[in-house]
Amino acid sequence: MPTPAAGNAGGRLRLAAWVRIAAMTLTQRLPPPPAPRRRTPFALRGVKALAIGGGLSAVFAFVFGQRLAQTMVYSLSITLGCWFFIDGGRLLAARWVNRKLPADVPYRSEWPGWGWMLAILLAGTALGASFGLWLGDLVLGGRDALSYMLQPRQLGALLVFSLIPGLVATVFFHHRGRMAAIEAQAQQARREAAETQLRLLESQLEPHMLFNTLANLRVLIALDPPRAQTMLDQLIGFLRATLNASRVGRHALSAEFSRLSDYLALMQVRMGARLQVALTLPDDLAGAAVPPLLLQPLVENAIKHGLEPQVDGGRIEITARRDGATLVLSVRDTGVGLAAAPADGTRFGLQQVRDRLATLYGDAASLTLAPADGGGGALATVRLPYEPTTSA
């Protein structure tokens, strides 16, 4: 299974990975969910146990010079009995334990724990061996191995010869089952990480925006080459910032504003006079440290849900100011307002900003979204602790 951007979630997002993910989205195909590895069914484990038991008895018959057919019959029937009582007992016990303590560990649904298992092994071996001897007597006819073996002198040997293979088989099947469960869980985690990355990247590099920008660029190349070059530079700046955003911890507010103005310039080529922009960054705040592209989703929302639906477009104002120890950043638009915007469309972007603020600043930072006073539209305000310079 391909594992795009697997592992370190905060790791660097390489362009190649993005292209691969984008290609997958285009075809709407994520890696298929890993088929949960089939647990070996009850009966199949029985067949496997019989094969092992048959093999062992053949070796014993040869080594101790016993008659093969007779040894085989008893050995197979004892194996059958032991498998039935031990494996069946394990499944029943596991189900019971699982019901009392809901499964929070992988493989719990099939494993009752070693304490239970040892008891089941002992009881299962005793029951299984007795059943096997009785069955063997029945098959061969006229023999009474059951009462012979139940004599105290033979009983020890019987239990040892049945118990040890039972124990070995239990360890073997348990280990394999647990490995399979752990592997399935790891695959699930990788898949979830990839999906989260994909959603994040899709929200940052919205394909609709990207292809529309490229369409405009394609036209400008023939029409106005210098302007095309400027536009391409802005696109490069925007892409580089987006792909690096998860790698850099903080950057200067001036860098944040120039990335936003790149993005807005791209949008202005597309929307023409329908988009007016005003950025206000006081000089003394230019060096303030902020998480990279923190405001990007807010600006995108303002355009996509505020201004684009409006036939005449509108104006977007981004300002920074200081309020004591707090840096206040606001994104204001004169668009259609919050009531008209689809609630679920904006939620992911807002949630992303809130999550980042919570991770980095805890309760010290906040994001509010409210109707803008006068002229309609929306006002998004981010408050975060003022850090005078970037440490990086």
Partner 1 sequence: MNPTALIAEDEPLLAADLQATLARLWPALRVVATAGHGAAAVEQALALRPSVLFLDIRMPGMTGLEAAQAIAEDWPDDTPLPLPVFVTAYDQYALQAFERAAVDYVLKPVQPERLGQTCARLQAALARRDAPAAAAPALESTLAQLRDLLATPGLASAAGAPAAAAPPRLAVIQAGVGAAIHMVPVDDVLYFEAADKYVRVVTVEREHLIRTSLRELVPQLDAARFWQVHRGTVVRADAIATATRDEAGKVTLTLRGHADRLVVSRLYAHLFRAM
212 binds partner 1 (CB under 8 A): yes
Stretch in the footprint of partner 1 (CB under 8 A) among 22-30, 83-91, 121-129, 255-263: 22-30
- Looking at the Cβ atoms of 22 and 369, the one nearer to partner 1 is 22
Which tokens sit at 179? 């490995």
**DSSP run (H or E) holding 392:** none
Q: According to CB under 8 A, which one of 37, 39, 108, 270 is a site residue for partner 1?
A: 270
CA 290 from chain center: how many Å? 28
Which tokens sit at 382? 């981010």
Answer for the pair 347, 304: CB distance below 8 angstroms, yes or no: no
Greatest C-alpha distance within the chain: 105
Q: Find the shortest distance in angstroms from Cβ 304 to partner 1.
A: 9
Concatenated DSSP letters for 249-295? S-EEHHHHHHHHHHHHHHHHHHHGGGEEEEEE--GGGTT-EE-TTSS
Q: Find the shortest distance in angstroms from Cβ 123 to partner 1.
A: 51
Q: How far is CA 285 from CA 279, 323, 357, 364, in A?
A: 13, 11, 19, 19
Rounded Cα distance between 18 and 5, Å, is 9
- Looking at the Cβ atoms of 149 and 269, the one nearer to partner 1 is 269
109 binds partner 1 (CB under 8 A): no
- Looking at the Cβ atoms of 69 and 343, the one nearer to partner 1 is 343
Stretch in the footprint of partner 1 (CB under 8 A) among 35-43, 49-57, 158-166, 207-215: 207-215
Q: How far is CA 154 from CA 69, 157, 158, 243, in A?
A: 21, 5, 6, 74
Q: Footprint of partner 1 on residues 27-46 (CB under 8 A)? A: 28
Stretch in the footprint of partner 1 (CB under 8 A) among 118-126, 179-187, 210-218, 284-292: 210-218
Stretch in the footprint of partner 1 (CB under 8 A) among 81-89, 216-224, 233-241, 250-258: 216-224
Which tokens sit at 216? 């405009």
Radius of gyration of the chain (CA): 35
342 binds partner 1 (CB under 8 A): yes
- Minimal CA–CA distance to 73: which of 124, 145, 121? 145
- Looking at the Cβ atoms of 166 and 306, the one nearer to partner 1 is 306
Stretch in the footprint of partner 1 (CB under 8 A) among 87-95, 149-157, 160-168, 263-271: 263-271
Residue whose entry in the numeric block shows the structure tokens 């008895």: 57
Judged by CB under 8 A, the number of residues near partner 1 is 29
Q: Footprint of partner 1 on residues 281-320 (CB under 8 A)? A: 308-311, 313
- Interface residues with partner 1 (CB under 8 A) are 25-26, 28, 207-208, 210-212, 214-220, 223, 269-272, 274, 308-311, 313, 342, 344-345
